[in-house]
Structure 1
């Protein structure tokens, strides 16, 4: 990757998001948890959730990822509380389509993923970007399976 490509990919906004990830850490008593890892780059994201009436009421994430994965976790952390599984799955599918198929930016409140449009060209980065939403969806399923 050329230096100019790196500058384009790692914009100031992406780096700002990566430096300010909301809800970092782990919950002491989650109802559901999931850990996702990208085999290509080794990035990992663990998500813990507490769910009430089908919506996330508490959330924490442990993010060990590149700046793009961290930025994706930051976008997610700003909007996840209060969402139900269908919203998360729609956002995940939309983000995947945005990256892989040049689809539109995910709908509100997930439109913050627009900052990651430059990553479309870098397929080896897609898995890291998708990890936070994938882990959140799996954590939600785990919570529902536990009776949430």
Structure 2
């Protein structure tokens, strides 16, 4: 397959539609924690604001400056992140990483929509951008949990 065909396959209509419709793009006024993650290779960044209650995400805002793949990932995460606990977010991140790096299945529900990014397996330089939103969520979640315990 030519590299041009590979890129066309990678940037499917579904990925582009997700990238064009990212939920929760408004930052939170009073988050419990904020985390910003950057993919050094491509420069994509995602900043996440979270509020927590009883160990679950109750508020979520994000600022996404990423390629279409990072945007699509942030879109799926944004659609499903409210109500999740730390373990669920860690599991989603680990499953996404395994999907990309180890050819494992797509993450399970509620993050099963990330399967749209399976074609990105072949593009290792895009993996960090795809993982940004979940990585930022985990960092913010841990910071908020520590703050709430202090």
For 1:12, the equivalent position in structure 2 comes to: 13
Between the two proteins, the alignment pairs up a number of residues equal to 148
For 1:60, the equivalent position in structure 2 comes to: 61
TM-score w.r.t. length of structure 1: 0.98
For 1:115, the equivalent position in structure 2 comes to: 116
Note if 1:71 corresponds to 2:72.
yes
Note if 1:28 corresponds to 2:29.
yes
Task: Using the TM superposition, give the Cα deviation of residue 4 of structure 1 relative to its aligned residue in structure 2, in angstroms.
Answer: 1.1
For 2:39, the equivalent position in structure 1 comes to: 38
Ranges in structure 2 where 5+ consecutive residues have no aligned partner: none
**How many angstroms apart in 1 are the aligned matches of 2:52 and 2:74?**
19
Q: The residue matched to 1:82 in structure 2 has which SS?
A: coil
For 1:131, the equivalent position in structure 2 comes to: 132
Task: Using the TM superposition, give the Cα deviation of residue 25 of structure 1 relative to its aligned residue in structure 2, in angstroms.
Answer: 2.6
**How many angstroms apart in 2 are the aligned matches of 1:75 and 1:49?**
16
For residues 21-48 of structure 1, the C-alpha deviation after alignment (integer angstroms, 9 at most, x for no partner) is 0000311100011000000000000000
- Could you list the structure 1 runs, at least 4 aligned residues long, displaced by more than 3 angstroms after superposition: none
**How many angstroms apart in 2 are the aligned matches of 1:118 and 1:125?**
11
Ranges in structure 1 where 5+ consecutive residues have no aligned partner: none
Task: Using the TM superposition, give the Cα deviation of residue 104 of structure 1 relative to its aligned residue in structure 2, in angstroms.
Answer: 1.0
Q: The residue matched to 1:41 in structure 2 has which SS?
A: coil
Question: Cα RMSD (Å) of the superposition?
Answer: 1.0
Q: The residue matched to 1:45 in structure 2 has which SS?
A: strand
**How many angstroms apart in 2 are the aligned matches of 1:2 and 1:112?**
25
